[in-house]
Amino acid sequence: MKTVLVIDDDRVFRSTVCRILADKGWNVLEADGGDRGLEIALEHRPAVVVSDLLMPHGNGYKVIRSIRETGGAFGKTRIIVTTASPYGTDRDTALAAGADGYLVKPLIASELFHLLDNFSSGAETGKPAGAEDGDIRSATTLVKFWGVRGSVPTPGPGTVHFGGNTSCVEVRSDDQIIVLDAGTGIRPLGGALAAESNGKPIQLTLLLTHTHWDHIQGFPFFAPAYNPKNTVRVFAYEGARKGLEATLSSQMESPYFPISLHQMPGNIAIQELKAMSFNIGSVQIEAAFANHPGICVGYRLVTRHGSIVYMPDNELFQRLKEQGTPRSVENFPEAQSFAKHQDQKLIDFMKGADILILDSQYDEAEYLKRIGWGHSCLDDSVALAVSAGVKQLYLFHHDPDHDDARISKFEVRARELVSLLGGTTRVEAAREGASVELPMPMV
Ligand SMILES: [Zn+2]
Ligand SMILES: [Zn+2]
């Protein structure tokens, strides 16, 4: 039985919280002040501490800081603040000190249970928290494109067919909603989720490949993050210069945006990923580093219905080495074997995928002028997909200068290339609003 410690100087509130937690099967401890609470916490090492902020004999901030400073496993104890203070600054301070959740009194029991459910499904394993595996087993896995453009949004009459929003793809598998990147396509996705939920809490996981603008810029406009009933978990790898949370919050600082990241009312849990393989519910996730400026990854999602590889930003090593740098193949033959090895790792990562969503920003002529920018040309992307034996390739991260007619030509050219290479990969250009289901129909 797991233990929770409730710290609050309001006896009536404290005993109410203790009772509802005991009814849910928790072993409950209680304290009427922060100092006494810390003594009990050190002795019993509870899994979760639920603490008020404003108390005599040790306030809640002190409780949070003391636990976090302890280090070790106990330093990672989950801490939920329950407070009468609705002020954004108090919320910011508590979360910055290390609280995992912030609930404003009067306490809504379902919100507390919602947080506890999230903790229990992932906290103890070190894996990202998610809904319980296999709660709901869907017949198919859905992949839907909400933003397919690279670099910058491109609305206008020339892009109405393929769409002008930047990178965002929704994956639904069993009971999981997984969102790949938060380009401006996440704004209409948020509206659709809010309408679909009809007031019920939404839980979802946002997996970011990296924090370039075209992959995070839509997040401040993501409606589910503004509803305190909802839980939005944001996962990505640490950036080259700053931590994930600092990078995401800096795009919402006051010179750029009216609301800070921590003032968004939803339960937003930001977690830097360490392992390259983990689970979100029943979906197994594998990550691989992309060849792209800064820290950038692609994800492979292995579902019960098939696998999806999402690699929106990538440039092939071999091409870069051959044509892009002074350390070219003629001068350094070993550069070629290194580059081949790197590209082979990518092919292995994509091997046999049912769906590959891949950076195909340029054609060959454009690429030769933009070597080293971190993006691929169509010919390289098709060759990669065919080498990996991918069933369905979606050309992705369309260049802002490419209108619908140009992207349609990319599709035609890509299909020609597949047959020239003797492959069987089907190709389409990713289109905003389009969706596909796994398992793929037989052809
Ligand atoms: Zn990008
Ligand atoms: Zn990028």
Contact, 390 vs 358, CB < 8 A? no
Compute, in angstroms, the gap from residue 61 CA to the centroid of ligand 2: 38
Compute, in angstroms, the gap from residue 302 CA to the centroid of ligand 2: 24
The domain boundary residue, chosen from 93, 122, 151:
122
Compute, in angstroms, the gap from residue 395 CA to the centroid of ligand 1: 13
Considering the domain architecture, whether residues 148 and 264 belong to the same structural domain is answered as yes
pLDDT band at 441 (very low <50, low <70, confident <90, very high): confident
> What pLDDT does 136 receive?
62
Compute, in angstroms, the gap from residue 292 CA to the centroid of ligand 2: 7
Considering the domain architecture, whether residues 67 and 22 belong to the same structural domain is answered as yes
pTM: 0.71
Ligand nearest to the CA of 148: 1
Span 332-386, pLDDT tens digits: 667 778 888 888 999 999 999 999 999 999 999 999 999 889 999 999 999 999 9
> What pLDDT does 388 receive?
98
Domain contains 338? yes
Q: Two tokens at 31?
A: 């304290």
Considering the domain architecture, whether residues 85 and 51 belong to the same structural domain is answered as yes
pLDDT band at 123 (very low <50, low <70, confident <90, very high): very low
Ligand nearest to the CA of 397: 1
Span 191-227, pLDDT tens digits: 999 999 988 999 999 999 999 999 999 999 999 999 9
Q: Does residue 73 carry a pLDDT above 90?
A: no
Considering the domain architecture, whether residues 230 and 269 belong to the same structural domain is answered as yes
Considering the domain architecture, whether residues 105 and 174 belong to the same structural domain is answered as no
Compute, in angstroms, the gap from residue 54 CA to the centroid of ligand 1: 45
pLDDT band at 443 (very low <50, low <70, confident <90, very high): low
Domain contains 10? yes
Number of domains in the chain: 2
> What pLDDT does 209 receive?
97
Q: Two tokens at 311?
A: 């690699």
> What pLDDT does 72 receive?
78
Compute, in angstroms, the gap from residue 148 CA to the centroid of ligand 1: 10
Least-confidence region, from 57-61, 160-164, 172-176, 189-193: 57-61
Considering the domain architecture, whether residues 95 and 145 belong to the same structural domain is answered as no
| Number of Cβ atoms within 10 Å of the Cβ of 188 | 19
The gap between the terminal CA atoms of the chain, to the nearest Å, is 52
The CATH number of residue 116's host domain is 3.40.50.2300
Domain contains 434? yes
Considering the domain architecture, whether residues 103 and 146 belong to the same structural domain is answered as no
Compute, in angstroms, the gap from residue 274 CA to the centroid of ligand 1: 22
Considering the domain architecture, whether residues 160 and 97 belong to the same structural domain is answered as no
Compute, in angstroms, the gap from residue 272 CA to the centroid of ligand 1: 20
Contact, 88 vs 262, CB < 8 A? yes
Query: How far apart are the C-alpha atoms of 355 and 426, rounded to whole Å?
Result: 10
Average the pLDDT over 42-66 and give the result.
Answer: 89
Query: How far apart are the C-alpha atoms of 175 and 203, rounded to whole Å?
Result: 10
Considering the domain architecture, whether residues 386 and 417 belong to the same structural domain is answered as yes
Ligand nearest to the CA of 181: 1
Beta strands 267-273 and 231-237 are parallel
Span 240-268, pLDDT tens digits: 778 899 999 999 998 899 999 989 999 99
> What pLDDT does 323 receive?
64
Query: How far apart are the C-alpha atoms of 306 and 171, rounded to whole Å?
Result: 12
203 — phi, psi (to 5°)?
-120, 130
Considering the domain architecture, whether residues 71 and 192 belong to the same structural domain is answered as no
> How many Cα atoms sit within 13 Å of 185 on the Cβ side?
32
Compute, in angstroms, the gap from residue 201 CA to the centroid of ligand 1: 30
> What pLDDT does 126 receive?
33
- Domain hosting 89: range is 3-122
Domain contains 127? no
The CATH number of residue 356's host domain is 3.60.15.10
Average pLDDT over the chain reads: 89
Ligand nearest to the CA of 295: 2
pLDDT band at 54 (very low <50, low <70, confident <90, very high): confident
The domain boundary residue, chosen from 62, 91, 122:
122
Ligand nearest to the CA of 151: 1
> What pLDDT does 339 receive?
81
Query: Strand order of the sheet with strand 277-280?
Result: 277-280, 283-289, 297-303, 306-311, 355-359, 392-396, 426-429
Amino acid letter, residue 154: T
Ligand nearest to the CA of 292: 2
Considering the domain architecture, whether residues 375 and 285 belong to the same structural domain is answered as yes
Compute, in angstroms, the gap from residue 286 CA to the centroid of ligand 1: 20
Compute, in angstroms, the gap from residue 89 CA to the centroid of ligand 2: 33
Span 388-397, pLDDT tens digits: 999 999 999 9
